[in-house]
Amino acid sequence: MNIRGAGKYFLTAGIDAGDNIFLSRRIALVSTLLTMTCCLFLFFTFYNFNRGVHLIAVLDFAGFLASSAAIWTLYVRKNHEAAINICSGSLFLFFLALASANQNNRYGLIWTIFFPIFVIFLKGGRTGLILTGLYYMILIPMSFMGIGEWQSGAWDLTSSIRFSFASLVATYSAYFSEATIELTFRELQKTRDREKMYIEELESLSVTDQLTGLYNRRFFDNMTPKQLNRAWRAEMDLVFFLMDVDCFKQYNDTYGHQAGDGVLQNIGKLMKSSFQRGDDMTFRIGGEEFAGVIVTRKIGRAMEQIEHLRRQLMDLKIPHKGNSAAGVVTASFGVSIMTGGEEFFSVKTLYERADKALYKAKENGRNRIVVSYSESDPPQNIN
């Protein structure tokens, strides 16, 4: 792992926060504060032990163990919330114990002001403020009760008031800073979420036919080779069909292009409702021509879906005087099938087979399905 990779791992603890920048910041802050806290506790453990202040050294060592446990929870268990809770709880107890044991000897009480800063940054503005309030509900009365006792009697009422005021200022500064940062990051996250939504919408528009809501020719050219390759590798069947509205030019000439668009929209709705599985993909590939790709292990079921689509369109009974096949809007289908385990062939071959079958369906009277099973066998009319 290079230096840059090590630095990234230190800040993220190997936790993937995805696009959540607020969570990313929190994890980076937790890992940094925990490391600093652990190192400081270890340093003061040896420092106070060498000075002969054994009780404070023991407290420092307890803080070091708690910080180490939090670091282990963060980096090994990948649980940043548990790490924050361990660190916050241990610091809460440590600073209260330090204030009670040290009794402001050599101004040791000043270290207790760091708790609000740590806990507000770790737990966030609101929760950190609540914990800080509980903390000072114990510490400030303890400070007041220490008048005439702490620091060999040099601790007086003025000292207690100064300490209380300094604590409130430190708390307010930490809360205001964190609240401002939280607000900024949340607004930034909202902006990024909106941008992501807009990008997804643009991507959807780039692969979707606006009139029918089906996938467009561009997406067809991109996805059909992938579906064909996937079916071949998994030794599954692939059913590909072309669908063409019968006598559509005459329909537009008779009823107008707006009515023609309505027909295409109805076909789009029928195709969406008929092919809903994740392996079913339907496209409008140009004008009145549509296509579908079905990866399946049940060819019969796929053919039933196509036949159901043909009947649904006819059952809409959209008048079409120019269609000699039925007097209503109908469609013809050409189907090409690649069976599982069959020798792999190209999308071009798949398309040409279906196109020949479609031509045969038109030639045989329209409003029917013709299937091409292989290159050697002629297209077969199935209805």
Instruction: Just list the catalytic residues.
Output: 288
Q: Are 115 and 91 in contact (CB under 8 A)?
A: yes
- Packed helices 21-50 and 3-12: angle between N→C axes, nearest 10 degrees: 90
* Gap between the Cα atoms of 132 and 114, Å rounded: 11
Q: How far is CA 370 from CA 240, 325, 326, in A?
A: 12, 16, 18
Burial class of 212 by CB neighbour count within 10 A (0 to 12, 13 to 18, 19+): buried
* Residue 115: closest CA among 128, 106, 101, 104: 128
* Gap between the Cα atoms of 316 and 323, Å rounded: 15
Burial class of 111 by CB neighbour count within 10 A (0 to 12, 13 to 18, 19+): middle
Measured between its terminal Cα atoms, the distance across the chain in Å is 65
* Sequence-ordered list of residues with C-beta below 8 angstroms from that of 306, at least 6 positions apart, any chain: 239, 241, 292, 333, 335, 369
Residue whose entry in the numeric block shows the structure tokens 């006792």: 149
